[in-house]
């Protein structure tokens, strides 16, 4: 019996280690049209956590929204994009100042890729010594690259004071980054820089501004459901009751 118990414990430990080591450091998944979600990982509380980012393939090159969280995946991502689409990345927009969004900005700058954040995000990056963009925008901005146009939207504070969303009207994709929690999320995650009182109104503004959204992309975990905005509001309601 004692040997059997040791065997079970050993199997459980091996299973846990395998689960932690079996994830792929970079995955690329088609979303819709010429939009792809790419996911990288980093450790949070000792466990590998996925961070979703996105790219759009245009006639004039590829646009990235946010950078890899795992800096070792910066070059593999560029290589994968060029190999898959025969195009280079020409522009990147980071949606707030945390490292899972801005960690690759310096790398992209060194490769001659135009990088952007809001002025508010850049100010925070300066104060916290995070990677910085080459360019900043002062207000909500429409970008046109190739045959596509898309726009940034600052609806207010939430996960961070500076978090923005990006709207892709042709495909009705709302990229929310860490401002929006996946329907898989059971809590708000890291709230060290959050404004949980303002966060609900920020999300409601996005709901009103983009009512016909077909896809909603959260910063972490699954994007299969387009009800992530509603789920985030539910989590905030539960949190603010405590």
pLDDT of 108-140, one tens digit each? 999 999 999 999 999 999 999 999 999 999 999
Whether 9 has a pLDDT exceeding 60, the answer reads: no
pLDDT in tens, 66-102: 999 999 999 999 999 999 999 999 999 999 999 999 9
Domain-located, residue 129: yes
pLDDT at position 7 is 37
Residue 95, in any domain of the structure: yes
If one counts the domains in the chain, the total is 1
Q: Which two tokens stand for residue 215?
A: 């896809």
| pLDDT level of residue 11 (50, 70, 90 thresholds) | very low
Average pLDDT, the chain: 92
Judge whether 2 lies within some domain: no
Question: What pLDDT, on the 0 to 100 scale, is given for residue 22?
Answer: 62
Q: Is residue 17 part of a domain?
A: no
At 180 the three-state DSSP class reads coil
Domain that includes residue 197, residue range: 25-241
Q: How far is Cα of residue 140 from the mean position of the Cα atoms in its chain?
A: 19
Structural domain includes residue 187: yes
4 in any annotated domain: no
| Residue 1 pLDDT level (bands cut at 50, 70, 90) | very low
The residue whose two tokens read 């009512």 is 211
Residue 2: is its pLDDT beyond 80?
A: no
Chain centre to alpha carbon of residue 178: 6
Neighbours of 5 (CB within 10 A): 9
Residue 11: inside a domain: no
Q: For Cα atoms 167, 114, 158, give the angle at the middle one, nearest 5 degrees.
A: 40
Give helix 228-241 / helix 199-209 axis angle, nearest 10°. 160
The CATH number of the domain holding residue 137 is 3.60.15.10
- Report yes or no on 20 lying in a domain: no
pTM tops 0.85:
yes
Query: Using one digit for the tens of pLDDT, what is the confidence trace for 137-173?
Result: 999 999 999 999 999 999 999 999 999 999 999 999 9
Phi and psi dihedrals of 23, rounded to 5?
Answer: -70, 150
């Amino acid at each position: 019996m004692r040997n059997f118990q040791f065997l079970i414990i050993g199997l459980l430990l091996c299973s846990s280690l395998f689960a932690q080591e079996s994830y792929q450091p970079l995955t690329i998944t088609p979303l819709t049209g010429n939009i792809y979600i790419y996911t990288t990982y980093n450790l949070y509380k000792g466990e590998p956590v996925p961070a979703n980012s996105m790219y759009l393939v245009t006639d004039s090159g590829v646009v990235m929204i946010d950078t890899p969280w795992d800096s070792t995946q910066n070059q593999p991502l560029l290589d994968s994009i060029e190999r898959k689409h025969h195009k280079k990345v020409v522009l990147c927009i980071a949606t707030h100042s945390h490292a899972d969004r801005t960690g690759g900005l310096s790398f992209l700058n060194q490769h001659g890729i135009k990088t952007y954040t809001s002025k508010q995000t850049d100010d925070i990056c300066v104060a916290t010594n995070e990677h910085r963009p080459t360019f900043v925008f002062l207000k909500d901005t429409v970008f046109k690259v190739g045959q596509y146009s898309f726009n940034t939207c600052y609806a207010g504070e939430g996960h961070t004071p500076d978090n923005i969303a990006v709207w892709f009207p042709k495909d009705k994709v709302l990229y929310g980054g860490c401002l929006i929690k996946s329907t898989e999320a059971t809590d708000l995650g890291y709230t060290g820089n959050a404004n949980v009182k303002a966060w609900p109104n920020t999300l409601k503004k996005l709901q009103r501004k983009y009512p016909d959204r077909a896809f909603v992309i959260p910063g972490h975990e699954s994007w299969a459901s387009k009800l992530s905005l509603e789920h985030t509001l539910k989590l905030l309601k539960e949190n603010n009751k405590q």
